[in-house]
Amino acid sequence: MRILIASKIDPDTTEELRLTHDVIEHINASEEELCEAIAGCDVLIFRSGVQINRAVLNHASHLKLMIRAGSGLDNLDLPFATKLGINLVRIPEPGAQAVAELTFGLMLNLAREIRMVDNELRCGNWAKQQTTGYTLHKKTLGIVGAGNIGSRVGEMATAWGMKVVGCVQNADQADLEHLNRCGIRLSDLKEVVSSADFLTIHVPKTKSTLNLIDREVISWMKPGSFLTNLARGGVLDEKALYEALQSDGGPIGAALDVHEHEGGGAISPLAELPNVILTPHIGATTVDTMREIGNRIIETIDSSPYDCFEEPPKLASPTTI
């Protein structure tokens, strides 16, 4: 099979795939490059940072299988892919643990001002008396999006002795039972935001969540609270957050792993603020996560039915995704 790898994955996985398949790599390529590269490919492997839009898919005349090495689908024209009958496999579970762990890393950094005191000490300043620290124990964690990642964050928070309240769209009975086991009490968005000492965002980017955490929602936050965003850029109004962090009576710190504008050369206006931590969308990027996803990629390709890679008529009945 001819496999196009459009995002960085575990290098050992790439080498193993090369043993039995024709593998080409175009990492985070432009639309024009992807349109050219995807022609004749049977399988596409991608993560965030690359746009798999209608123009690209229109050039994918042989594509039978797409593997999203993670969870989010905001960079894929899913309705058009469905119309073309292209199979889609997501691998969200390994990344969920890594994102959940980074959430705690960022909350601890905010609560204990680790970045600030580290910078001061590197300059020879012993800032022990200038720092104000907070514990997570017995605090309330509010989770906007208590899904695959958010529920894992809540489960970890319960183990830390935090009280956890969350909200999620379209929860069925199985979801409710799972969240209850994780120690997460469900409520509406306003209570989640207004009750939280630490507010964390883990919703997918969709039409309904675009700019979900806007100026009004940020105004509900408790004085002295902290916010982390590990969802997607565009879910949070960064301008409104900037203003809130400089005003009295609202949040006093924030950490963002995802941003409205991502990639080299993009500088967030939040970078001016000392009470903000910014990371470059590294939530799921750990050695262990990439290895586990790589193993799942190989299993997915090896277990795919042979006729998945025969020449199907395009615009056949859509495959359920």
Write out the catalytic residue numbers.
232, 262, 281
| CA-based max dimension of the chain | 70
Q: Tell me the C-alpha distance between 232 and 246, whole Å.
A: 23
CB-based contact 274:283 (threshold 8 Å)? no
Adjacent-strand bridge partners of 229: 201, 256
Q: Tell me the C-alpha distance between 137 and 74, whole Å.
A: 35
DSSP state string for 142-194: EEE--SHHHHHHHHHHHHTT-EEEEE-SS--HHHHHHHHHTTEEE--HHHHHH
